[in-house]
Amino acid sequence: MTTSHARKGERAAAPTLRGDRVFARFWIAASVTLTGTLVTSVVLPILIYQRTGSAWETSLLVAIETIPYLAFGLIAGAVADRIDRRRLMWRCELASAALLASIPLAHAAGVLSIAQIYVVAVATATVFVWFDAANFGAIPAIAGRDRIAIAYGRLNASASVLMIAAPALGGLLAATVGPAPAMAIDAASCVISAVLLMSIRRPFSASNPDQAAGQLRKRIAEGVSFLWRHPVIRSLTILGFGNSVALGAVLGLLVVYANRQLGLPRTSALIGILYASGAVGALAASLAVPRIMRRFSVLSIRLAGLAAQLILLIAFALTTSLLAAMALYACLSAASQAIILSGIIYRQQATPDHLQARVNVVGRMIAWGGQPVGAAVAGAVASVVSVRAGLLVGGAGLGVSLILSVAGPLKVTAAAE
């Protein structure tokens, strides 16, 4: 890829984000809300597994949390490119806070049910669709298009550090105060994030939001059309489906895997440590991806990542050792993060600002479409056969994507980049 002389001049004048207080505030808001999200990502499946003991119902959580993205992603992307992204983001945070707070409150009142847990999971996932659509467009506007990779490097590096600490904290809280009360952390983090976002005055769009009353269907079609006509973005997006199938299988069964295959108690604090081990790998990938992308094409990164994940997932499914599982999960997460992050960076660099929300939401919709499939299928297989079989079935998505990357109709040469 190349940049214009004007962009090169801007990058030379501001090569880093050091000293940018506005971005720092945005970064803090993202880190605070992520901390709560990561605690919930551990305690919520523990809460369901603790109450049901079912692999299927536990993995179903991952499946249903992805469905809202598939249902509302296109609309959210089109809307986020038209309205004030900052206002949309802080309102989403407050809505999430209210939903999440209902679980510890219901638990304290003795009326918490599995139905409420699933409803809150779906509702917060739906709110996240709109938040995420606005966030995709906000990052390039706040950081500057030529500093997208630097911004994502910082955001993902701090996120990965939090992903080491927060899941461990979630596991500890689940083992002490209980998984339901621990979700109050997430509700509080959303409120803090909302306040920080409200305090930012820099526009969350590189240009004024498009207030034209164009037909929603036409606006959606513009985003889909851009993605489909761009050969690299199209291939990265479709091949990401297989990656998310495997990811859905692993995430959906991780608590069950820790209990049934590794022999950990259902509320063991070590479950949080297992989650955190994956973040160690994600942190390494987040730090390395910007440098790797300067040496290798994004499609080469995807090919190597898919091959590595397939081997690692098979080994992960076969081991019964906690230490081995932690090491394998760390490497598995690193390969997955390298694929995801490099694809996001490339997509945002190649997409015009007025299409950022639409194109990126469509891309994530298609790529994430495999996650509920992987979680649901793996959960069903684990319930009937074994957790090991469920994980191996989930790995089939990686195999299909790998074949298509090498010899299928989605193969794209480096020259296309």
Contact 320, 261 (CB under 8 A): yes
DSSP conformation class of 83: S
C-alpha 353/C-alpha 350 separation (Å) is 10
CA–CA gap between residue 169 and residue 178 (Å, rounded): 12
Domain boundaries, the chain: 20-206+215-416
pLDDT of 113 reads: 94
pLDDT at 310 (0 to 100): 92
Return per-residue pLDDT of the chain as tens, 417 residues. 444 443 444 334 444 666 677 888 888 999 999 999 999 989 999 999 999 989 889 988 888 888 887 788 778 877 877 778 888 999 999 999 999 999 999 999 999 999 999 999 999 999 998 898 888 778 777 776 666 777 777 787 787 678 788 888 998 998 899 999 999 999 999 999 999 999 888 777 655 555 444 566 777 787 778 888 887 887 777 777 888 889 889 989 999 999 999 999 987 889 989 988 988 888 888 788 888 888 888 888 888 888 899 999 999 999 999 999 999 999 999 998 888 888 888 887 788 777 776 777 777 777 777 888 888 899 999 999 999 999 999 888 888 887 877 765 555 544 445
Let me know: does 357 contact 80? Beta carbons within 8 Å. yes
270: closest CA among 388, 175, 184? Answer: 175
Per DSSP, the residues of 147-180 read GHHHHHHHHHHHHHHHHHHHHHHHHHHHHHT-HH
What token pair was written down for 82?
């038209």
What angle (nearest 5°) sits at the alpha carbon of residue 122, between those of residues 215 and 211? 25
Question: How far apart, in Å, are the Cα atoms of 270 and each of 42, 284, 321?
Answer: 11, 22, 13
Amino acid at 147: R
pLDDT of residue 343: 83
Tokens of 404: 């298509």
* Nearest residue to 289 via CA among 305, 275, 311: 305
pLDDT of residue 409: 56
3-state secondary structure 243-255: HHHHHHHHHHHHH
**How far is 59 from 375, CA to CA, in rounded Å?**
5
Nearest-10 Cα torsion for 374, 375, 379, 385: 20
3-state secondary structure of 2: coil
Per-residue confidence (pLDDT) for residue 19, from 0 to 100: 63
Looking at residue 328, its pLDDT comes to 96
Mutual angle of helices 298-318 and 387-394, in 10-degree steps: 170
pTM: 0.74
Q: Which CATH class is domain 20-206+215-416?
A: mainly alpha
User: What pLDDT, on a 0 to 100 scale, did the predictor assign at position 411?
Assistant: 58
Residues whose CB falls within 8 Å of the CB of residue 367, separated by 6 or more in sequence, listed in order? 237, 240, 241, 243, 244, 343
